[in-house]
Structure 1
Amino acid sequence: MNTIVYFYSHKGSNRFLANKIANDLQCDIEEIFPRLNAHILMLMGINFGNKKLKKKVADYDRIILCGPIWMGQLIVPLRNFIKKYRSSIRQLVFVSCCGSKFEQKDEKFGHNLVFNLVRELLKEKCAHCEAFPKTLVLPPELKDDPGAFMKTTLNEENFKDEIQDIYDRFITKIKDTI
């Protein structure tokens, strides 16, 4: 299946995750750039669209869209991507390195709310959604420390144990079934 990873990353964790996925699947990758990369405006939902992509979405059978979830919201660059290319997308897998823990996935800022929105926007084209909570790489004593969470970025050194196990299962599933 002809696959590409499109990603948006603000601090680098989703860039790391997207590159890891593209490397393991040996597929193309492209970064999504908002026309105006102003974090506060994106948080407020103010939308100036994304810059033009270099690779055509319609040339791929499967899109892996990777990006953050901020405060339980599908962020503007990812929402713009889905809305603009919805008709060209054949199959989409949505992946996020996010802040919500698995036990909080259905709460106000939980990742499952965004996953449900992606499924609603894409219907049967959304094949799978996967969360990689950043708290999984923190030591137990820092898991509830917002400061530690905000300073942490996924990297080769901390991407191990539980988050690596989740990732390995995800890659196997993508290769085998989706």
Structure 2
Amino acid sequence: MNDILIAYYSMGGNTRRVAEEIRAATGADMEEIREPKPRRGLRGVVGALFDATLRRRPAILAGAHAPADYDLLVIGGPIWASRLAAPVRTFAERNATQAKKVAFFCTEGGKGADVAGRPPRRAASFRCPSQST
């Protein structure tokens, strides 16, 4: 088993690509954060915006990996309406306290986000070829 687990949510593929880049660089295990009913089309986008704005915590499916088994849990997801994507919020609240150490990454195409209520200790950015998250 690896020492690092990357858990990510991606509706359009950008966050998945970033997670794969991190996995390639670190050799980490990877887990997709999934919802029982995937968000699709305009209805999915509108629902995502409402869930993020209202800081809802939608249901997510159980993963195959136990975050407590890893030295570092890396949680990633897109920014919706300047907020952390709702499924990522659910996953983080459910699992972050189980991990020894936690790191976050996010993808966004706009002005930034209120992810933790304060600026990150470290930040880096790069552009994916497509801007959909």
3-state DSSP class of the match of 2:97? coil
In the TM superposition, 1:74-85 aligns within 5 A as 74-85=84-95
Asked if 2 retains the 8 angstrom alpha-carbon contact of 1:98 and 1:132, the reply is no
**Normalised by the size of structure 1, how large is the TM-score?**
0.59
Q: Which has the higher helix share?
A: 1
Distance 2:87 2:122 in 1: 17
Q: In 2 relative to 1, CA 47–116 (structure 1 residues): closer, same or farther, beyond 3 Å?
A: closer
1:79 Cα offset (Å): 0.3
Moved over 6 A (4+): none
More relative contact order, 1 or 2 (CA 8 Å, 6+ apart):
2
Distance 1:133 1:70 in 2: 18
Runs of at least 5 residues in structure 2 that lack an aligned partner in the other structure: none
3-state DSSP class of the match of 1:51? coil
Q: In 2 relative to 1, CA 128–34 (structure 1 residues): closer, same or farther, beyond 3 Å?
A: farther
Asked if 2 retains the 8 angstrom alpha-carbon contact of 1:68 and 1:97, the reply is yes
- Which residue identity does 1:83 align to in structure 2? E
Asked if 2 retains the 8 angstrom alpha-carbon contact of 1:115 and 1:129, the reply is no
State the partner residue of 1:88. 98
Per-residue CA distance 1:24-74 (angstroms, 9 max, x = gap) = 101111111012223232321154311010000110110111111112111
Greater Rg over alpha carbons, structure: 1
Distance 1:88 1:64 in 2: 12
Q: More deviation in 47-56 or 16-25?
A: 47-56
